[in-house]
Amino acid sequence: MRRTIGVTRQEVWLGLQRFYFKDEKGVPLPPEEGFKKIEAIFPKKQVDEELNEGADFVCRHGHCLYFEAYSTIVNVLDYWFFLWDKCLEVQNVYWRDVGETDHIKLILRTQEDLDILYPNWETDTVGGSPTHYCHFKHQLGMGGGHSIKLYPKPDNLGTIELTGTRLPDEINADVTGENTYIALEGIWYQALVDYVIFHLTGDVNKLAKLTIWIESMRTESEHRNREERVVSTDLEHNSLWDE
C-alpha cells in the first residue's frame, strides 16, 4: 500500500516517540503523551530532509526503483547520449527505426570490445540500425560521463528505449502537498522509515544491519529476475530471455 509524505512523517515521529519516551519499566508511553514533544525535537523540515536522504540511501543500495525512458533520435549518425541524472543502472537498451513497430534489444559490449571488433567505428560516416551499445557508468563530468554509445551509428531516425533503476524524486511537501505519495513501497518503504529513525537516534549498529539487509534484498531480487528470464519460454519451449 502506498503512503503519503504526511503519513510517513507521522510513522517516523511515532517510532522516535517510542524510542525516547518510556515509563520506568522501559515500556513506550502512549503516543498522546510524547508525540508533541517529539515534533518539537524533530521538526517537520528536519524529518523531511532525513526522508530525502533515506530514500536516496535505500535506492542506491537496493536498486529498487524502476524506470523506463524514451528518446527520439533527430539527427542521423548521432550515437553518444548522456543519461538522465537520476539513472542508477541501465538494465536493457532497445532500438526502433522510424516506421518500424518492433524494438530490437541491443547487446551490451565494452568500449574496448567495440574498438577491437569494429576498428574506426566512431569515425565511420556510414551507419546502420544499432545492434550493440556500451555503457559508461562514471558520474557526469568524468571521462565519458554517465552515458551510452550505440553501434553502428544510426543511419535512420529512430527511438531509444531504456529500462533500469533510478534515484527517487525529492520529497517536498511544501511544493507537492502532504498527500503526495512516497515512491517506495512494501519492504523498501519500511527500510526508509527504519533508516530515518535509526539515523536520528544515532543507532549505528542498526543502520549497519539495515544496510546489509537492503543489499541482500537487492541480490535476491536480481536472482529472481534472472530466474524469471530463464524460465520464460515460447509455445515450443524455447527460452526467450536466457542471456
C-alpha cell at 129: 540500425
Nearest CA to 197 out of 69, 15, 66, 3 is that of: 15
Q: How far apart are CA 51 and CA 16, in angstroms?
A: 14
The model's pTM: 0.81
Nearest CA to 84 out of 146, 158, 141, 137 is that of: 146
C-beta of residue 147 within 8 angstroms of C-beta of residue 76: no
In the chain, which stretches have pLDDT less than 70? 31, 139-145, 225-243
Given this model, what pLDDT does residue 56 score? Answer: 96
Given this model, what pLDDT does residue 242 score? Answer: 45
